[in-house]
Structure 1
Amino acid sequence: MASIDHISAAGTARTDKPRGMWAQGWARFRRNRTGMLGLGLVSFVVLVAILSPLIAPYAANDQSAMMNFGSRSGPSLAHPFGTDRMGYDVLTRIVYGAPTALAVGLGTMLVASVLGLLIGGISGYVGGWADEVMMRLTEFFLVLPVFVVILAVVRLFGVIVVGTPLEDIPYLNLTTIVLLLGLFGWPPIARIARAEFMRLKSMEFVEAARCIGATRSDILLRHILPNAMPSLVVVIALGIGSAILSEAMVSFLGFGDPEAISWGQLLYFNYAQLKVSPWASIAPSTAIFITVLGFNLLADGLSDAFNPRVK
């Protein structure tokens, strides 16, 4: 009987083994309805982007609707979201705009994350004069108006495309837009990284790693960075939605890449006909709204799940 109790106690001990930080965060996240709604919206957009060549009803540059229906037609069985003034099927252009939106959001935050982690991590871990210099640099980038800089770059380095609806208007290609947004999107990540690195560098497990002879790079990459990531994931998820909205605004102003199908570009081409064909503007606006809302709700759920003050 005693041996059975001993085995049962041992099994219970193994079952009650403390879960890791990520496992606990995921368990809290699953109970967060806001976060799960955001995850569902983001998953839907990602699925549309991956399957865009398969689910789009027409080819990306198919303008045959102009020959059959004139310059534009309302929603119908053949064109559920209608067609625009250039004869494109609106649903097709929205589907093909999803990969562009995700590429902009993820690419921008990749650039911003690398810069933010590098500058914020060094600032928080080293401290002293390096911290002062890097934080003043961060504050300088925080107060710079990103859209004024983008407009200046367009005027100075923009490429003029000839033979398109954007003739004689300079524009920036998609890669340049991603780099510019990333170069101005790193300060929030740097500030969070600095705070986390300053907090974690004095923790007991970091001191223990120093005592056993761990190098500085090992301490930063294997001990501090993984424990700082939950807080950073929140601001990165929030920044993806912000980057998608920023690219849409740049394209809506007419400075986006005409060779890339984007939702902001659809608004630029069709907003003048809003009273005549509102479907051509409402559909891409709704796509932008759903995507940005999804990432914002996802960030809100992640914040509640990985907030150390939440039990």
Structure 2
Amino acid sequence: MDADFASSPVSVLATLQRPPAGVWRQAWHRFRRNRAGMIGLVLVTLVVLTAIIGPFVAPYDPNDNAAMLRGASNAAPSARNWLGTDRNGYDVLSRTIYGAPTALAVGLGAMLIASLIGVLVGGVAGYVGGFTDEALMRGAEFFMVVPVFVVILAVVRLFGIIVVGTPLERIPNFNLMTIILLLGLFSWPQIARMTRAEFLRLRHAEFVEAARCIGTTPREILFRHILPNALPPLIVLVALGIGGAILAEAMVSFLGFGDPKSISWGQILFFNYQSLKVAPWACLAPGTAIFVTVLGFNLLADGLTDAFNPRVRA
């Protein structure tokens, strides 16, 4: 009893002297306890590894349709073709694997563009305020009411006609880059609104006022003090946006407006949905890949939301 009492002040003193864990370390501790977030992290990691390693281990070239020549189109899964073949004689497993890099390129590329625009617009609006804030936010609201899906379909079809016979036609994956650009240009308002809210909350914080008092320049205040503390909720939005962009590209490709020079899961569905009753495996594989990828990013965003929530105990 006396030994416990004697050691108690020492342990308390050691706890008081231990420096508090950083925001990111605390968030990681909370994230590890979130089962949905960890499942999402595993799924996203699986998709990323497939995109990186998959093309080197795929059993066939994605454009190899030799199965059609030997009359093996729409062949059921077998030892030769683990997920079967589609109506064009392509190996379903190989094309599904090669669709992973396209999906990640769309998601990451679109959200990179959206993040750059959103953080810039929202940061200026939240930090400057006044008329600038009103003008920028009204512009963001305009982009939020535009029917994005219709605009993407119209622009992709228009560009497909205009670039014929021009040097742009020789650019690899031109239609895919157009889709990525359009998704990024119409996905930034949500990020801008969140950035504005965080900048409004942080610009009068005590550590920001202290930085102003010691003569810190506005640029250093923005990039060294406010922006790093505004990142956690923005990361959640980006994670959600990646899954949304992948799903949007799949829908565009499924309607026949995708890039014919690239391999995407939506395009695989477009070429094989008519033979769904004959060869369901040709649609099941890319559909499952889309589901797993979007689910993974949504669960990851859900876990990050709880991880960066200060009300959740570490």
1:305 matched residue in structure 2: 307
Tell me the CA shift for residue 253 of structure 1.
Answer: 0.7
SS in 2 for 1:17: coil
Deviations 1:25-65 (CA, angstroms, capped at 9, x unpaired) = 00000000000000000000000000022221111211111
**Equivalent residue number for residue 82 of structure 1:** 84
Q: Deviations over 1:235-263 (max 9, x none)?
A: 00000000000000110111111111100
Q: Which runs of 5+ in 1 are unaligned?
A: 163-170
Q: Which residue of 2 aligns with 1:97?
A: 99
Tell me the CA shift for residue 310 of structure 1: 2.3
Show CA shifts across 1:147-195 (max 9, x none): 1111221343224899xxxxxxxx9611111000000010110111010
Q: 1:214 aligns with which of 189, 213, 216?
A: 216
Looking at structure 2, the residues matched to 160 and 224 of structure 1 have their Cα atoms a distance apart, in angstroms, of: 44
Determine whether 1:120 maps to 2:154: no
- CA distance, structure 2, for counterparts of residue 39 and residue 45 of structure 1: 10
Bigger drift between 74-83 and 33-42 goes to 74-83
Equivalent residue runs for 1:1-311 within 5 Å: 12-13=14-15, 16-159=18-161, 173-311=175-313
Q: What 5-or-longer segments of structure 2 have no aligned partner? A: 1-6, 165-172
Please, what is the CA RMSD of the aligned residues?
2.0
Alpha-carbon separation, structure 1, partners of 2:226 and 2:38: 28
Question: What amino acid does structure 1 have at the position aligned with 2:114?
Answer: A
* Bigger shift: residues 151-160 or 185-194: 151-160
What residue is the counterpart of 1:165 in the other structure? none
In 2, the alpha carbon distance for the partners of 1:283 and 1:177 equals: 23
The 8 Å contact of residues 157 and 257 in structure 2, kept in 1 or not, is answered as no
Contact 1:172 1:256 (C-alpha < 8 Å) held by counterparts = no
State the AA in 2 paired with 1:142. M
List per-residue Cα deviations over 1:49-97 (Å, max 9, x = no partner): 0002222111121111112343220111111111001110000000000
TM-score by length of 1: 0.92
In 2, distance between residues paired with 1:176 and 1:74? 36
Residues 40 and 296 of structure 2 are in contact (CA less than 8 Å); yes or no, is this contact kept in structure 1? yes
In structure 2, what residue type is equivalent to 1:306? Answer: F
Pair 1:9–1:34, CA change in 2 (3 A) = closer
SS at match of 2:269: helix
Query: Aligned letter for 1:226?
Result: P
Q: How many aligned residue pairs are there?
A: 299
Name the CA distance, whole Å, in 2 between partners of 1:213 and 1:80: 66
